[in-house]
Amino acid sequence: MHGTSNNVPEQRRRWREYVERVKAEALRRPLEVLERVAGIPPERLDGRGHPCPNPRCPDGPGRDRFSVINTQTGAVHCRRCCTSSVPGGGAADCIDAVKWMHGVSFPEAIRLIGDHFGIDPPDAPPPASVARPSGGPAAPAAANAGGARAPRDASGKPSGRRTASGIGHPSGKTFPTAEVAIAALDRRMAREGCRHVAQWPYLDAAGEHVASVVRYDRPTPPDAAKPDKTFRPVSRHPDGWRIGDPPGPWPLYTPPQPDGTPQPAAEQLAARPDDPVFVVEGEKCADAAARCGLLAVAAAHGANAAGKTDWSPLAGRDVVILADHDDAGNTGAEAYAKAAHDAGAASVRIVDAVRLQAFWKHDPQRASANDPELLQAIAAELPAGYDIADMEAECKDDDERHGLREAITEAALHTDPWTPPPPPTPPAESAPPAREPIIHTMADIEPQTIRWLWQDRIALGRLTAVVGAPGIGKSFLICDWAARVSSGRPWPDGAPCPRGDVLILSAEDDPADTLRPRLEAAGADLTRVHFLAGVTDRDADGQPRQRSLSLDDLAAIERALQKFPETRMLTIDPIGSYLGGYTDAHRENEVRDRLQPLNELARRYDVAVVLVMHRRKAGGRFADDLAMGSRAFTAIARAVYHVCGDRGDHQRRLFVPGKHNLAPTTPGLAFRIVGEPGKVARVVWDETPIDMTADEALAAEHDAPARHKRNAAAQWLQERLANGPVPVENILEEARGCGFSEKTIRRAGKALGLRRRKDGFDGGWVWSLPDAPTGDDGSDRDP
């Protein structure tokens, strides 16, 4: 995270851009915002009357007056509060619905919507002046029915930002009861396709209900061995119930009494002072252990969060940890053992699922002797994650549960007490620091000359970027270059081309019907051109698979270079398709993290890497700034070239230089894509170079429409003034009727060299053609 900027105008600008971007996305998909962000069930989006979510509605929230009247814009309408006579009334949209349903301010609603669409806010906090743009109602920031106002600081602003999940953050929405909080959580999880399966209450030492954990099952394939489950907490805070963890440590979970009455851990442990306490992973396992007659407890969030629980009730007790049958269970058991030991437990033992099975269903004598063959055989049979709940589920009646209890007790008695590991040995004082700077004195560095694939244009061991609009001919250009490198033919300007292999990564052109025909038409040696189609790896089940390639697979690209050691050029078309799914092409630090390893790979193998890039639609003064994505692309590339059309010849393409860090700027070139009907086209280069840079080509491209308009205006002026002088006032009025602005007409007149004079002493200004007779005073001033 970058530091917060003190430049308030800059903060405001960035936040306004962020707000406009989020607002545009929300208004483009309003029903998705209403359903998934505001939490309005789909059945309420049918345009009929439903409870109004506005807490300041004159009829009060909950009256059947709310409806969605426009499914294209998501306009929210209430017959009473959406009027100019009601504070905050007027046309409401999906953003207002998010404010009302979550009880938040406009910036908070924008952040919730931005989180949903994956739009990151600026690093600096929103300045006080950032408010809802004009044109919509200033909806109140109070909670909807059943909720409470989001916490505020002394200035009345929200005290924190909700995360995308809304869990454990100080600005989370509050609810009057646990049941209302869980109901809201159920609605949120249902939007993700999750089903409420179970919930477990947590009581503090006084027996007060302070938290609950709710289990949800995600959508799971029918052939899955177990459902894909997830857990969400709700907890009591000073201002109400929230979705998230409690403000302090969690109490230990203890199963309810046989009649379903919850009982705090302290009371249950006090009622059975001589029984060992069995610590299991998860509330479901604690319930299963209790049904077997064991005194069981569990910690919230599983073994990975042992530090979030208050373990003090275990002081002075004999504790047995029942570990699940997997690596996470073994790791978690160690964490539980340490927590119980630190809390003052009299003894701690860890019993894994394999030993429990040995004592329960196999040979207790061999199990007590730690027979390795028996334990290995059982371990191979048990499924991953096997736990006490699975064992209890196998019991058909209470007698079998009693037998399981006896086996667990026996296994615990034959397990050595757990002892904490010794503290790590501190490093010797003479040990070097973890990080040392790598320094090379310039006098010790051997100078090297730059090696060129195309003299003064494309360097070996470096990155070169080619930028152009879609369809302008970049892929044709790459095929022409690949043909020259693979065959050793000279470059278009006559420079020699070292012969070698070419490795092509192309996400948009098919190798069979597009790339190979173009390469053949260009005269390539096809035995030296190689298409990298993807990579092979293994899926979650260990089965081999093929998948598309990205810069995450740089090792695979390196192996391809090793397989073809004479590779001279690697092309990536377009580079944006190979960044990987988690890289934002507009964030400079993320792009640099991706391209720097590729740059090092180019250096190691002395390969020219050509990055093909699309051009953004927005205009600009500098051509390199038009490359799609972050400026890091063109910053890391040592040379940037642009492909654009020729305004004077629509069949001609210009190949013009942008920046170049390694050599003087070279002249531009021109080419055409030619081909007879029914045959594959190819690139044909013009012999004459072009004395033009990419910036100049861009300026000419942008000036062409204005120049065309000026020429048309000049022709119109010549025809209008052919019969003699005309008052300027008449000319400008007639010109506007013909679609010419005053500015264009005046520029056209200046280019024609029109004469301007006053028509008599009291007359107005008139214009005439240069060869027309002058007036009495010959005045040439502008009216």
743-767 residue pLDDT tens? 888 888 888 888 888 776 666 888 8
Residues 752, 771: Cα–Cα separation, whole Å: 11
Residue 591's alpha-carbon distances to 117, 269, 596, 598, 604, in angstroms, are: 21, 57, 8, 11, 20
| Span of 120-134, 178-192, 440-454, 699-713 with lowest mean pLDDT | 120-134
Determine the pLDDT at residue 783.
54
Report yes or no: 162 and 174 within 8 Å, Cβ to Cβ: no
pTM, to two decimals = 0.41
CA-nearest of 390, 418, 198 to 292 is 390
Determine the pLDDT at residue 590.
85
Determine the pLDDT at residue 151.
39
Q: Which of 101-110, 622-631, 659-668, 708-717 has the highest mean pLDDT?
A: 659-668
Q: Which of 8-12, 100-104, 549-553 has the highest mean pLDDT?
A: 549-553
**pLDDT tens, position by position, 494-509:** 999 999 999 999 988 9
CA atoms within 13 A on the CB side of 272: 14
| Residue 23, both tokens | 């607002």
Residues 135, 137: Cα–Cα separation, whole Å: 7
User: Which residues are CB-neighbours of 703 under 8 A, at least 6 positions away?
Assistant: none
CA-nearest of 639, 697, 689, 696 to 663 is 639
User: Which residues are CB-neighbours of 678 under 8 A, at least 6 positions away?
Assistant: none
Helices then strands, counting H and E runs in the chain, come out as 21, 28
Given a cut of 80, is residue 695 above it in pLDDT?
A: no
Report yes or no: 111 and 92 within 8 Å, Cβ to Cβ: no
CA-nearest of 569, 474, 470, 483 to 518 is 483
- What's the mean per-residue pLDDT of the chain? 80
Residues 308, 467: Cα–Cα separation, whole Å: 53
Report yes or no: 279 and 299 within 8 Å, Cβ to Cβ: yes
User: Which residues are CB-neighbours of 195 under 8 A, at least 6 positions away?
Assistant: 216, 217
The b-or-e profile of 610-649 (16+ CB within 10 A means b, else e) is: bbbbbbeeeeeeebbebbbbbebbbbbbbbbbbbbbbbee
Task: Measure CA of the first residue to CA of the last residue in the chain; give whole Å.
Answer: 58
Where do the H-state alpha helices sit in 447-550? 474-487, 516-521
Determine the pLDDT at residue 713.
84
Given a cut of 90, is residue 562 above it in pLDDT?
A: yes
Would you give the DSSP letter of residue 37?
Answer: I
Determine the pLDDT at residue 431.
57
CB atoms within 10 A of CB 560: 19
Cα 75 from chain centre = 28
Residues 255, 285: Cα–Cα separation, whole Å: 10
| Span of 117-126, 637-646, 737-746 with lowest mean pLDDT | 117-126
| Residue 225, both tokens | 């061995």
Residues 690, 240: Cα–Cα separation, whole Å: 73
Given a cut of 70, is residue 477 above it in pLDDT?
A: yes
Q: Which residue's entry shows tokens 């730059």?
A: 450
The secondary structure of the chain in percent helix, strand, coil, rounded to multiples of 5, reads 35, 20, 45
**pLDDT tens, position by position, 343-400:** 999 999 999 888 888 888 887 777 676 777 888 888 888 888 889 999 999 999 999 9
CB atoms within 10 A of CB 173: 23
Give all strands of the β-sheet with 682-685 in edge-to-edge order: 529-531, 501-506, 567-573, 608-614, 463-468, 639-646, 649-660, 669-674, 682-685
Pairwise pLDDT comparison (428 vs 388), residue with the higher score: 388
Where do the H-state alpha helices sit in 322-429? 327-342, 353-361, 364-368, 372-381, 388-394, 398-413
Give the pairing of strands 347-352 and 318-323: parallel
Determine the pLDDT at residue 471.
87
Q: Which of 178-192, 305-319, 490-504 has the highest mean pLDDT?
A: 490-504
Share of the chain above pLDDT 90, in %: 30
pLDDT band at 452 (very low <50, low <70, confident <90, very high): very high
| Residue 49, both tokens | 């009357």
Q: Which residue's entry shows tokens 């244009």?
A: 457
The b-or-e profile of 327-348 (16+ CB within 10 A means b, else e) is: eebeebbbbbbbbbbebebeeb
